[in-house]
Amino acid sequence: MLNNKTLFILLISLCFSCKPNTKAQQNNTYADVISVAAMKDVMWKGELFSKIQLDTINPKKGLYGLGPEAFLRGEILINNGKTYVSKVLTDTTMTVKKIPDAEAPFFVYAHVNEWNKIRLPSTLKSIKDLETFIDSKTKDKKRPFAFKLEGDISKATIHIQNLPEGTKVSSPKEAHQGQTNYELDNESVEIIGFFSTEHQGVFTHHDSFLHMHLITKDETKMGHLDSVVFDEMTLLLPKS
């Protein structure tokens, strides 16, 4: 038989064990931007296999997302519910197809149906400049978030992952085997991106707060954006 003092101690212990996990609650404050798995697990642990089938994400209206294709055999972009996959054909050519059930080893997505438009200043000359500009415009906004760029670029470099079949990966260098770069000139484009100061190695690279994929207006070229010279561009940020 338990005496009254022992029962009292047990009750107090149970109360403390039921205390809410504050850290877990904080992690749930970004429910409108969903991150599936992590870039670092692909690069360092070789987890190339599918972690998500994209046709399972609903609703499609206002859906934006990006990541690589499973086994690093292409790039994926969801632009307002339409899922595009680009693949390497040659050093200078690619295919871009709509594949709703594409699969990814890591992915980030969000739903945005209303945007605020800002003309991109002509002084912006690089992706780093864009990062600084977006950061300055969103200090008091909810983060992370998806954004868009629409307009014309003078030059850009995009890449498509094209890992040889059966390759084992345990480092970023190994993960980028077969990556093919493409140079673009004077194109009308849409760029879908995600901004976060807290997800380096998850859905942005370790040295950036941005992850962006570019698609040309004619939908014939698409890939991960590595560098760009902007021409006339409009930045779209989610309405609060």
Q: What are 104-128's pLDDT values in tens digits?
A: 999 999 999 999 999 999 999 889 9
Q: Return the pLDDT at 207.
A: 74
Q: Which residues pair with 97 in a beta bridge?
A: 85
In CATH, what is the architecture of 32-238?
2-Layer Sandwich (3.30)
Name every residue whose Cβ is closer than 8 Å to that of residue 237 and which is 6 or more positions away in sequence.
115, 116, 118, 134, 137, 138, 141, 145, 147
Measured CA to CA, the distance from residue 152 to residue 146 in angstroms comes to 20
Element at 9 (helix H, strand E): helix 4-17
How many Cα atoms sit within 13 Å of 128 on the Cβ side? 1
pLDDT digits (tens, 9 = 90+) for 41-52: 888 888 888 999
Q: Return the pLDDT at 20.
A: 35
* Low-confidence residues of the chain: pLDDT under 70: 1-31, 201, 206
Tell me the whole-structure pTM to 2 decimals. 0.84
Q: Return the pLDDT at 180.
A: 97
Q: Return the pLDDT at 46.
A: 84
